[in-house]
Amino acid sequence: MKGFTSKAIHGVVLKKDPHGALRFPLYDNAAFEADSAHDLELMFQGKKASHVYSRISNPTVEDFEQKVRLLSNAFGVVAVASGMAAISETVIALAGAGSNIVTSRFLFGNTVSLFESTFKRWGLEVRYADMTDTVSIEAAIDERTRLVFLEVITNPQLEVADIAVVSSIAGKHDVPVVLDGTLTTPYLFRSRDRGVAVEIISSTKYISGGATSIGGLIIDNGVFNWKKSPALADEAGKVGPGALVSRLRREVNRNVGACMSPHNAWLQSLGLETLALRVDRSSENALAVATFLSAHPRVRAVNYPGLPGSPGHDVAVRQFGGKAGGLLTFELGGKEECFRFMDSLTMVRRATNLNDNKSLILHPASTIFADYPAEEREKMMVSERLLRLAVGIEDKEDIIDDLSLGLEKL
C-alpha cells in the first residue's frame, strides 16, 4: 500500500474487532477494567500494554494516531484536545522558565497570545526572528534556546519559509524545529523529509473533514536526538527515541488533561480518509478564486502562495509540489468596504474557521487580531484592508459568482 489515500482509508490494523466491524468502533468510555488486581498494577506500571483510562489513552484515539503516524512516516503521534493544546503541550515538554524559544512575528493570533501572555508569565523568553532570513534566525538562537517554532504557511500573512533551511540552522545548534503544519497537513508537506523534529497540527481544520470537531496532533518525526534536549535528556536516557512521546503520555498530556475525546478521534479518522481529495479540490478552487480576484479592478492586492507573483510562490511550489491549500487573502479599500463586501455574500459564510468544506470569510483585524493595537497589527501585516478567505470545496464557479456579485455591489 503506497498511496496516501489508500493508507488513510485502511490505516494500521492493531487489533481485529471481535465483531468484525469494518470501521474502527467508537470506544466512548472513560475506564478499562483489569482481570485481576495484579494485572491492574502491571497496567499502571506500563508493564502490561493495555488502556487504563481515556485521558491517558483510548483505542479509538490510538487508531486515529496510528493512521496519522503512517501518513506522516513519523515515529509517534499523540492526539490532543485542540491545535492550541498541541502547541501548549509541546512547548511545556521542551522548554521552561529561564529558557527561550525562537519564533516568527507572523503567527496565528492565539499562538501569539499563548507565547506573549501565558508562557511569558511562567518565565519563558520569547524571541522573534524573520524565518525567511538565515542571519536573523541564527542571531536569535543561543545556548538557552529550546526550540524554533514556525508555521508552514503563516496565518494570515501567507509567508512561506524554506523549512529545510530553518531546520539546518536550528540543527547546527542542536535545537529542534517545531512546525505548525495545519495549513498543509502531511498530504501537501512531508515535514520529516525537511528535518522538522515535531509537527503540530490543528486537526480541527483540514483533517476533521468539514469542521465536525476540535482536535490537535503532536507528531514526533523521529529525526531529532532527544538526548540533546535539556528537558528530555533524562527521559531519552531511559526510553531512547520515544522520549517526547513518553514525556507527553506519561506526564504532560496526562497531567494537563487536554486529551482528544474518542468521539472526535472517530470523526477525524473518517475525515482523514478523504483528506487528499479535499485538499486537492480546495487548492484547485483557491487558485481559480485568486486568479479571478487578482484581475478584478476593485481588489487592491491578492496573496495566495499558489498564485504566480505572490511572495511565497516559489518556495511553495518547491515545498508543496504545486498545490498550496485553500487559504488566501485580499485587500479592499478599508474596514468599512470589507464589512459591506462580507455582508453582501450569500454563499460564502462569515466565520472564523478555515479548511472547512464551506468557503469562509473573515476580517482578521477586527476579530482574531482585535486585541492588538493598530501598530502591532501593522507589524504582523494585518491591516484594516485585509480579508481572509478560506476557500472550500464547493463548485468553484459558485464561489466566484458569489464574490463577483459582492464586488459589483461595492
- Write out the residues near ligand PLP by the rule CB under 6 A: 82-84, 108, 110, 151, 155, 180, 182, 202, 204, 214, 216
Min. distance of Cβ 320 from ligand PLP in angstroms? 15
Residue number of the CB atom closest to ligand PLP: 83
CB of 33 to ligand PLP, least distance (A): 32
Count CB-CB contacts under 10 A for residue 373. 8
Complex with ligand PLP: residue 163 or 214, whichever CB lies closer: 214
Q: Which is nearer to ligand PLP, 212 or 225 (CB)?
A: 212
Q: Which is nearer to ligand PLP, 61 or 232 (CB)?
A: 61
CB 407 within 8 A of CB 292: no
Q: Tell me how far apart the alpha carbons of residues 311 and 323 are, in angstroms, rounded to a whole number.
A: 15
Which amino acid, residue 244?
A: L
**Which residue is it, cell 474502527?**
24
Q: Closer to ligand PLP at the Cβ: 87 or 197?
A: 87
Which residue lies nearer to ligand PLP by CB, 7 or 377?
377
Nearest to ligand PLP of 72, 182 (CB atom): 182
Minimum CB distance to ligand PLP, residue 305 (Å): 14
Identity of the residue, 207 or 299, whose beta carbon is nearer to ligand PLP in the bound complex: 207
Supply the minimum distance, in Å, between the C-beta of residue 208 and ligand PLP. 9
Nearest distance from C-beta of residue 379 to ligand PLP, angstroms? 18
Min dist. Cβ of residue 354 to ligand PLP (A): 6
Q: Which is nearer to ligand PLP, 58 or 154 (CB)?
A: 154
CB nearer to ligand PLP: pick between 136 and 353: 353
Least spacing, CB of residue 205 vs ligand PLP, in Å: 7
Residue 35 Cβ vs ligand PLP, minimum distance, rounded to whole Å: 38
Nearer to ligand PLP, 79 or 236 (CB): 79
Cis? peptide before 156, omega within 30° of 0: yes
Please state the closest distance from residue 89 (CB atom) to ligand PLP, in A.
Answer: 12
Using an 8 Å Cβ cutoff, are 215 and 81 in contact? yes
Supply the minimum distance, in Å, between the C-beta of residue 181 and ligand PLP: 9
Query: How many Å is the Cα radius of gyration of the chain?
Result: 22
**Rounded to 5 degrees, what are φ and ψ at 406?**
-60, -40
